[in-house]
Structure 1
Amino acid sequence: MSCFITGELAAAEAGVAPATIRKWVQLGHLKAAGRQGRRLMYRLEDVFAAERIARGRNTDTSA
């Protein structure tokens, strides 16, 4: 089961500013999973994956 969180909470979980979450979306590192009213919602696991990509720590071991 996925946990959906707001951009503000995503930023807090990743230890970044909310503007950084928006930047990750612009760069294609993160995609919104849906909406709650006007707010974009993100999957927590996607936020952590975007953080790894942005910080250069892509730990993909599927190759």
Structure 2
Amino acid sequence: MGEARRKREQAVSAKVVGEEPMVVDTLGGRMHVRWDDGAAATPHGQLVFFAEFLAAAGVFDH
């Protein structure tokens, strides 16, 4: 069980933390996301990634 957690932490630290902001395309436009590894929580959490999912799934296309 602990192996899965370690793999996930390694993936996040290697790919996201400390690098350039990630570009996320949403219905409201392009967002730039930068991880704050020192924060316990953020005001919007991962809401921008949910917005990207809605745009990719075409939920509001019609």
- Tell me the TM-score normalised to structure 2 length: 0.31
Q: Given the two structures, how large is their TM-score scaled by the length of structure 1?
A: 0.30
Give the helix-richer structure, 1 or 2: 1
Q: Which has the higher contact order (CA 8 A, sep 6+)?
A: 1
